[in-house]
């Protein structure tokens, strides 16, 4: 799906939710639909992985790459935000 | 850590490996993924639209309050790129995974759409691990990087899953900032992930 369609769908959902035009029962169902959609998609991602020949044998290396990427991304975000805090403190003092 | 996403993923892997989903269903499954993705975005919008606190936070945002989520996104992306370069991974995947900001469900779904199941698995595991590491080691993050560094490390989860842990380790003063940062990242991640994946060929 193109990027603009994500924006359009998100904006449509926000507008409908904000105006409260939908019946409460239907709106209450959206939380459950969200959970079902997420788990359904995660299941299909898993099914795609399982069906792809050779990918199961790659789980170990994939997990290792994921651990390292998570480490780098988390430290990168923490360092950048600590830098912003230091800059703000220097400007304030 | 909530074990349900991992259990659902494992069930899907089992179903795929055992051939419980016949190959003939593949086009239908692809169409189902598109439909579920569209429904997911509308439902996220509905949840956001109904949440008055969300709009109050957005109204209270100043330009300076966007600095922290921007730094978190840029730092996470840069970290992902550095890790990807060291590991010899495709840089688009590494950048998009880093920009996922702990939002593992959406990141993996968007990467599945853009690049297939292998990329989705990396996006899923890396961002689930980021969320888990933040929750498990929050006091350490606060001590090493300060309250704002810890909020940045939490990424999009700073508004929900990680918020109680941030408050208990860094104090109540940082709660609003943490929530606001998470709100901004939650809105930006759905666009940043596919954009960054395409930006780095």
**Chain B residues closer than 8 Å to A56 by CB:** 13, 17
The confidence score (pLDDT) of residue A1 equals: 66
Q: How far apart are CA A88 and CA B7, in angstroms?
A: 43
Residues 6+ apart with CB under 8 A from B175: B163, B166, B167
Q: What percent of chain B has pLDDT over 90?
A: 44
Model confidence at B41, in pLDDT bands (50, 70, 90)?
A: confident
**Chain B residues closer than 8 Å to A46 by CB:** 8-16
A40 touches chain B (CB under 8 A): yes
Closest partner residue to A66 among B13, B76, B122, by Cβ? B122
Q: How far apart are CA B108 and CA B96, in angstroms?
A: 10
The confidence score (pLDDT) of residue B5 equals: 80
Question: Helical H runs in B88-174?
Answer: 91-99, 104-115, 117-136, 138-154, 163-170
Contact A17, B46 (CB under 8 A): yes
> Helix B175-199 to helix B163-170 angle, to the nearest 10 degrees?
130
- A18-22, B112-116, B131-135: which range is least confident on average? A18-22
Q: Look at B12 and A81 and tell me if their CB atoms are within 8 Å.
A: no
Closest partner residue to B105 among A42, A48, A79, by Cβ? A42
pTM, two decimal places:
0.80
First to last CA, chain B: 34
Q: What is the ipTM of this complex?
A: 0.84
List chain A pLDDT tens, one digit each, 93 residues.
Answer: 666 777 788 888 888 888 876 777 777 777 777 788 778 888 887 887 777 766 677 778 888 899 999 999 999 999 999 999 999 888 875
Q: Look at B149 and A79 and tell me if their CB atoms are within 8 Å.
A: yes
Q: How far apart are CA B143 and CA B177, in angstroms?
A: 18
The confidence score (pLDDT) of residue A83 equals: 95
The confidence score (pLDDT) of residue B183 equals: 87
């Amino acid at each position: 799906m193109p990027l603009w369609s994500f924006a359009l769908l998100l904006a449509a959902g926000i507008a409908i939710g904000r105006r409260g035009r939908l019946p409460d029962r239907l709106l209450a169902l959206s939380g459950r639909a969200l959970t079902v959609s997420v788990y359904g998609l995660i299941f299909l991602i898993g099914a795609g992985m399982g069906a792809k020949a050779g990918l199961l044998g790659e789980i170990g290396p994939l997990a290792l790459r994921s651990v390292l990427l998570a480490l780098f991304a988390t430290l990168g975000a923490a360092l950048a935000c600590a830098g912003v805090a230091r800059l703000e403190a220097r400007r304030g003092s | 850590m909530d074990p349900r996403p991992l259990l659902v993923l494992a069930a899907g892997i089992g179903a795929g490996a055992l051939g419980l989903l016949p190959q003939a269903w593949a086009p239908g499954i692809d169409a189902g993924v598109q439909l579920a993705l569209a429904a997911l975005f509308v439902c996220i919008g509905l949840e956001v639209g109904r949440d008055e606190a969300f709009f109050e936070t957005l109204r209270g945002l100043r330009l300076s309050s966007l600095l922290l989520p921007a730094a978190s996104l840029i730092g996470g992306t840069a970290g992902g790129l550095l890790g990807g370069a060291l590991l010899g991974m495709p840089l688009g995947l590494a950048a998009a995974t880093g920009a996922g900001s702990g939002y593992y469900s959406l990141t993996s779904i968007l990467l599945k759409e853009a690049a297939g199941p292998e990329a989705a698995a990396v996006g899923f595991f890396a961002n689930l691990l980021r969320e888990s590491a933040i929750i498990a080691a929050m006091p350490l993050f606060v001590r090493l990087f300060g309250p704002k560094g810890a909020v940045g490390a939490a990424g999009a989860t700073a508004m929900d899953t990680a918020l109680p842990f941030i408050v208990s380790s860094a104090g109540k003063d940082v709660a609003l900032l943490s929530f606001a940062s998470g709100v901004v990242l939650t809105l930006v991640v759905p666009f940043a992930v596919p954009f960054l994946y395409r930006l780095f060929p």
